[in-house]
Copies of this chain bind each other. A is one copy, B any other.
Amino acid sequence: MTTARYDVVAIGNAIVDIIGRCDEQFLVTHGATKGAMTLVDADRVASLYASMGPAVETSGGSAANTIAGLASFGGNAAFIGKVADDEFGKIFRHDINAIGVKFDSPAIAGGDPTGRCLILVTPDGERTMNTYLGISTDLDSTQVDPAIIRDSAIVYLEGYLFDKPAAKAAFREAVTIANAAGRQVALTLSDGFCVGRHRAEFLDLIRSGIAILFANETEIMSLYETSSFEEAAQRAAADTKLAALTRSEKGSVILSDGQSISVPVAPVAKVVDSTGAGDLYAAGFLFGVSRGFDLEKSGRLASLAAAEIISHVGARPATSLADLAKKAGLLT
């Protein structure tokens, strides 16, 4: 096995976030499920946008946020995703390239527009997401460059993409190529509803060669259809080499080789916008693992990155995570 050029390549939805503040009543009036990610069609996204307050636009996408975080720690990163030849596609490409991530998936003209996610942030800092996937959901195997997969120590897959047959096939192909090249594959379950829709196939994928699994409490309990987090965690430990399970303010649990390590959250003065907490947790953890740090230190880097992201609006780091980690004594 040769040295990998990239620490991590991520395959995920290429999304631009449109972030605005709203009160609780707005969510009720518009029938939005607080705290959830809901997939919406072009009409619904247009009508919600017309009703919501002033917004800011910033690049997003779950795995893309993770990979931006990894680059901010100083990792070598690549991203695979589908954008249209439009203004939002240009914004997405600029922002991910500008942080040092290789992203050269071509822009597609004439199809659906670039994906966008309306993020409504309530005064408690909770985010409610309404995502119009646009062209990003049409990712297929032709976008997955085998050379980049083989040249990445870890291939990170975003569960949100796991809805259409072509994307599922692309994921399976990426797992096969990575495993044949001796690379590790990581997967985030992304969303409880997504797990519910594709439980059996997710389990197949996980058992077919996922080394590192990320999930939050809801997702992992949905995957194993149990109301006990402990049971779900044990089963995840049996199915993967390494599982990192997040539990919001209760911190996270990392399971590997019969070990179970609890990692507390890092302190935050005020939760301004919880968007991206899970994405950036994965960034810190993957960075730690890719650098060969132990699981506890990798978990602390994960908590640090999650804390940074929830202290401001937007799901991309507002400051250098490498500098933050140095200040915290986690990097030299």
Q: Does A127 contact B (CB under 8 A)?
A: no
Q: Is the CB of B86 within 8 A of A50?
A: no
Q: Which residues of B contact A94 (CB under 8 A)?
A: 49-50, 54-55
Binds B, one of A56-64, A167-175, A202-210: A56-64
CB interface residues, A 71-106, toward B, < 8 Å: 86-88, 91, 94-96, 98-99
CB interface residues, A 235-291, toward B, < 8 Å: none
Q: Does A196 contact B (CB under 8 A)?
A: no
**Which one of A49, A56, A91, A316 has the greatest number of beta carbons of chain B within 10 Å?**
A56
Q: Is the CB of B91 within 8 A of A53?
A: no
Nearest B residue to A314, CB-CB: B56
Q: Does A321 contact B (CB under 8 A)?
A: no
Q: Which residues of B contact A91 (CB under 8 A)?
A: 55, 57
User: Given A86-B87, A87-B88, A88-B87, does the pair A95, B55 have CB atoms closer than 8 Å?
Assistant: yes
Nearest B residue to A316, CB-CB: B54
Question: Known contacts A52-B98, A53-B98, A54-B98; can you find 9 more A-B pairs with CB under 8 A?
Answer: A49-B94, A54-B59, A54-B96, A54-B99, A54-B316, A55-B95, A56-B314, A57-B57, A86-B87
Can you list 15 pairs linking A and B with CB atoms under 8 Å apart? Answer: A49-B94, A53-B98, A54-B59, A54-B68, A54-B96, A54-B98, A54-B99, A54-B316, A55-B58, A55-B91, A55-B95, A55-B98, A56-B56, A56-B58, A57-B57
